DNA sequence: GCCCAGGGAATCG
DNA sequence: CGATTCCATGGG
């Protein structure tokens, strides 16, 4: 991977196993949108990014070296070599096919609170509506920043009531959002500590929050805390591993279960797969 | 009208 | 334990 900073832009070339569209559109993050010209825009940690991928290179517009190093390098998980998890999938025909299809997916390292809150909203919901609710959450309670609004922090939301969230039209999930915000804001659940815990202990900690079960906890661990062994099971994944492995993902995949899970999910969703 | 959507809590047996 | 039901909302 080569990185050059030129004319205020950050240009990345020689990238292996990375595809911007797959990574931003595989259902792990909800605040990225694609423009007519094929570029993607989003806001992370109050930093706006417009990015676009061409055949041999990736360009982050208006991005200096400091911003790349402190925000995007980590967020896009550019330091990791995905050839190892990809090689794991060669052990199974279906996994290989799914991984082939989404071989440019990286697991984002989103902010823990944003991941937790987003996946609370995701439950029994569909992706377009999830994005809408999160957009209204940011517009109403985030801070104005270049390009839009920040994701509101837990402390801000902890001071609100369910009625205050009416504009989100998030239904029964509102009470879950408020409880999560309170427990995170007063450190009943310390997200930075949870991030450092072994996955099982971390999952138990997160499920202390009202409205957070194992699925939402695992999504938070995987997409917001870098726990690549977390394995969120939605209906698609459940059905897939039921058919493929008779119930559970084999032990040999556990180290990268989360990445493999994302290959399966993306493949199933994009191809409307009927296993 | 019906069904489903990256689930979870409450309440059964 | 496992199975059911309800939860709000919007799109197909």
Q: Can you read off the two tokens belonging to residue A36?
A: 């007519």
pLDDT tens-digit map of A217-233: 999 999 999 999 999 99
Average pLDDT over residues A236-257: 91
pLDDT digits (tens, 9 = 90+) for A32-66: 999 999 999 999 999 999 999 999 899 999 999 99
- Provide the pLDDT for residue A235: 85
CA atoms within 13 A on the CB side of A147: 18
A262 touches strand B (CB under 7 A): yes
Residue with tokens 């999560």: A180
Reported confidence tier of residue A274, pLDDT bands at 50, 70, 90? low
Q: Which nucleotide's C1' sits nearest to the alpha carbon of A162?
A: C8
Which residue from A26, A27, A95, A86 is spatially nearest to A243, judged by alpha carbons? Answer: A95
Residue A61 CA, nucleotide B1 C1', distance (Å) = 49
Rounded distance in angstroms from the CA atom of residue A11 to the C1' atom of nucleotide C6: 51
Q: Once rounded to an integer, what is the mean pLDDT over residues A196-202? A: 98
A124 CA to B4 C1' in angstroms comes to 9
Residue A42: phi and psi, rounded to 5, are: -165, 170
pLDDT of A109-121, one tens digit each?
Answer: 999 999 999 999 9
pTM of the predicted model, to two decimals? Answer: 0.97
């Amino acid at each position: 991977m080569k990185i050059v900073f030129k004319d205020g832009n950050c240009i990345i070339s020689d990238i292996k196993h990375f595809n911007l569209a797959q990574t931003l559109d595989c259902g792990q993050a909800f605040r990225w949108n694609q423009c007519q010209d094929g570029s993607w825009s989003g806001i992370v940690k109050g930093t706006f990014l417009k990015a676009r991928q061409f055949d041999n290179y990736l360009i982050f517009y208006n991005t200096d070296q400091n911003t790349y190093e402190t925000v995007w390098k980590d967020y896009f998980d550019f330091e990791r070599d995905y050839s190892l998890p990809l090689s794991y999938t060669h052990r199974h025909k279906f996994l290989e096919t799914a991984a082939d299809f989404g071989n440019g997916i990286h697991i984002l390292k989103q902010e823990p609170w944003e991941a937790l809150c987003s996946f609370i909203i995701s439950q029994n919901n569909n992706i377009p509506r999830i994005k809408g609710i999160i957009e209204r959450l940011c517009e109403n309670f985030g801070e104005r920043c270049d390009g839009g609004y920040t994701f509101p922090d837990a402390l801000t939301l902890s001071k609100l009531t369910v009625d205050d969230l009416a504009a989100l039209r998030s239904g029964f999930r509102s009470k879950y959002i408020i409880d999560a915000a309170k427990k995170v804001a007063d450190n009943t659940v310390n997200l930075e500590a949870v991030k450092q815990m072994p996955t099982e202990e971390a999952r138990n900690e997160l499920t202390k929050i009202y409205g957070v079960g194992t699925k939402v906890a695992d999504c938070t661990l995987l997409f917001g805390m870098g726990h690549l062994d977390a394995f969120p099971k939605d209906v698609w994944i459940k059905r897939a591993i039921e058919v493929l492995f008779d119930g559970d993902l084999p032990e040999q995949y556990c180290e990268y279960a989360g990445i493999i899970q994302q290959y399966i999910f993306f493949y199933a969703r994009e191809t409307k797969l009927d296993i």
